[in-house]
Amino acid sequence: MFEVIVWATDGSPSAEDALPFAAGLAKSSGARLVIAHVDELGVGRGGGYHVHANETDLLAGVEQHVAELRAEGLDVHLELAKTGSGGAAHIIADVAREAGADLIVTGTRGQGPVVGLILGSVTHRLLHIAPCPVLVVPDKDRVAKG
């Protein structure tokens, strides 16, 4: 059913919860898995800075996932991009479009709905601009609680 699946990750626990779904779907359908990781940059007086202070660690974790998934026999491609704060959804949609993706798999955010309205949400924006269906995987905590 799927030929190309994009797993969108920012290295957060929510994104990590979505990986088993993306990998499982890729394995069962023989799809190529494209991992999209976007480094958001903010701008301050001293110049640009990573929105996530631990970006180096996050990237190392993503690269570890790539190695593990390849070792399991999956066809995995890593797409890295940088954007200004608030542009991650557009980058993910562009990656999916360029890859010819049939599906994007992503997690939800761990912030409440009021904060999401104020700050915006990459997942919410992606639902509006994605060129293909988006599977949004809830956090493990919510799945366990039912």
The mean pLDDT of the chain is 82
Lowest mean pLDDT across 64-73, 75-84, 88-97: 75-84
Say if 33 falls within a structural domain.
Answer: yes
Model confidence at 109, pLDDT cuts 50, 70, 90, reads: low
- Do the bridges between strand 76-84 and strand 103-107 make them parallel or antiparallel, or are there none, so unpaired? unpaired
Number of folded domains in the chain?
A: 1
Q: Is 1 within a domain?
A: no
Whether residue 15 is contained in a domain is answered as yes
Among the residue ranges 6-10, 50-54, 68-72, 125-129, the one predicted with the least confidence is 50-54
Gap between the Cα atoms of 54 and 30, Å rounded: 33
What whole-number percentage of the chain has pLDDT above 90? Answer: 51
* pLDDT reported for residue 36: 95
Q: 2 lies in a domain?
A: no
- Residue 71 forms part of a structural domain: yes
Name the pLDDT band for 133 (thresholds 50, 70, 90).
very high
pLDDT at 120: 46
Q: What is the pLDDT of residue 10?
A: 84
DSSP H/E element including 48: strand 47-50
Count of C-beta atoms within a 10 Å radius of residue 27: 14
List the domain range (segments joined by +) for residue 78. Answer: 7-141
- Residue 50: give its domain's CATH number: 3.40.50.620
Predicted pLDDT at 48: 47
H or E segment to which residue 89 belongs = helix 88-99
User: For residue 99, what pLDDT is reported?
Assistant: 98
